Structure 1
Amino acid sequence: MADLDQSIDANHALRVLVIAQSPVAELGLTAMLEKAGFLVLLGGEQGFSDSVSEIDTTVPDVVVIDARDSSDPEQPDNFPDRPTIFLTDTAPNGEDVTSGERPTAWLRRDARPGDVVAALHAVIAGLNVVDPALGEREVASGDGQDELTSPLTVREVEVLIALADGLTNKAIAFDLKISEHTVKYHVGSILTKLEAASRTEAVSIGARLGLIAL
């Protein structure tokens, strides 16, 4: 499994608390995350508000919530400041994405496993992400909330983080389990969207926009 964050001890699995409103969703998320190498903690079916105590006692690194409807006003505010991924079928409003200190990712409930893992990479890196399939732009975290004309995809953010770590295309391909050709495509897309002339400049711009932490 690719290294999700250098500050996390590489000798233990990333702890992911799963909170789902149905046993089927819980089983599906658990199987997917465990297959990717994460240690899954279960929040149960008691509802969003009651799950706060679960977060406090299990001390997860990331929370994954099968939110269904992002319009529920209690969801964004009732959880501690831990990186959180919301799986929902409706787009969040801008305030839900940018409010608070914890990084969040908003993905469709039928998101591919690779996209969920990429979102885990992103929130651990301090990035707010919205799946374009939900009809919203991705929003960069950090002080300079500059908006991009064409937002980066979840995978492009993952590649940008790898570029910031100084990885070669070959190393990125190995870590992300994609081809070098695909890496080159993503790098080219990143340079275009960030209007950068080089990988180094792309990393610099990404840091300025709050997309990555250096």
Structure 2
Amino acid sequence: MTRVVIAAGSPTVRAGLGALLAGYPGLTVLEVTGRPAGLAELAETVEADVVLLALEAGEQLPLPLGLPPDAAGREPAVVVLGDETTEGWVQRALRAGARGALPRTGSGEQIAAAVAAAAAGLVVLPAPAYQARVRPALNAAAPAQPLTPREVEVLAMLAEGHANKAIAARLAISEHTVKTHVGSVFGKLGVSTRAEAVASGVRLGLIML
């Protein structure tokens, strides 16, 4: 069960978020507070997994957002809901220690999912921030020439520790062809060793270990 504390200056917002989260299985609201600036003190007395902080229009982020760990050594995750969800605002929230930053206009499903994801150790971003920051970085890291399906197969077998001879036997191709595929993988990923190829493949999401 994910334990949640709601912090919002508006009684209406507090009541609305409390009712919203109460309707989702796996979430329980421990406390509702109207003192966003006192989150650190609250975290010392209430053992929560997530603090859901709803900011009013024009309200500044209470910095820092990182909270002290509870008696078990677990640090509560903070998810911020705000009217301003520009890339700069999201970055400030994350740098301040938030685990997630979403618009207050998000649906109940989105807010509940963000709380559950933050409790699981994930970072939650609104789609525009992802499109502006994360996706371009992933595209920039991708190889200029994509790997073929066969090359991905070979890369996956390299990750499993197979030698060229074993890969050739499993794929029913010649060992010379395997060497050609391995060389092509190295060239496309810009690496010179099998370990580097595997690490690059994992980083790019081509294979999983």
TM-score of the aligned structures, taking structure 1 as reference length? 0.52
Map 1:170-185 onto structure 2 (within 5 A). none
Does the 8 Å contact 1:19/1:64 carry over to 2? yes
1:42 aligns with 2:37: no
8 Å contact kept, 2:6–2:53: yes
Q: How does 1:1-214 map to 2 (within 5 A)?
A: 13-37=1-25, 38-45=27-34, 47-68=35-56, 72-77=60-65, 79-80=67-68, 81-91=75-85, 92-97=89-94, 99=95, 104-132=99-127, 135-137=128-130, 147-149=137-139, 208=203
Say whether the 8 Å CA contact 1:68–1:109 is kept in structure 2.
no
Q: 1:114 to 1:209 in 2, by over 3 A?
A: farther
Which structure: greater helix fraction?
Answer: 2
C-alpha distance in 1, partners of 2:61/2:102?
Answer: 17
AA of the residue aligned to 1:59: E
Aligned-residue RMSD, C-alpha: 3.4
One-letter identity of the residue aligned with 1:94: Q
* Structure of higher CA gyration radius: 2
Letter in 1 for 2:138: L
Q: CA deviation at 1:22?
A: 1.0
- Code of the residue aligned with 1:148 in structure 2: it is L
CA displacement 1:38-63 (0-9 Å, x = unmatched): 21022422x22223211211110111
For residues 125-180 of structure 1, what are the alpha-carbon distances to aligned partners after superposition, in whole Å with 9 as ceiling and x for unaligned?
A: 32222212xx422777xxxx99334xxxxxxxxxxxxxxxxxxxxxxxxxxxxxxx
Which 5+ residue runs of structure 2 have no aligned equivalent?
69-74, 140-198
Are the counterparts in 1 of residues 14 and 32 from structure 2 also a CA contact under 8 Å? no
Change (3 A) 1:121 1:71: same
Answer whether contact 1:106 1:130 (CA < 8 A) is retained. yes
Report deviation, 1:65.
0.7
* Distance change (3 Å), C-alpha of 1:61 and 1:90: same
Whether contact under 8 Å (1:88, 1:109) holds in the other structure is yes
Cα 1:131–1:76 shift into 2, 3 Å: farther
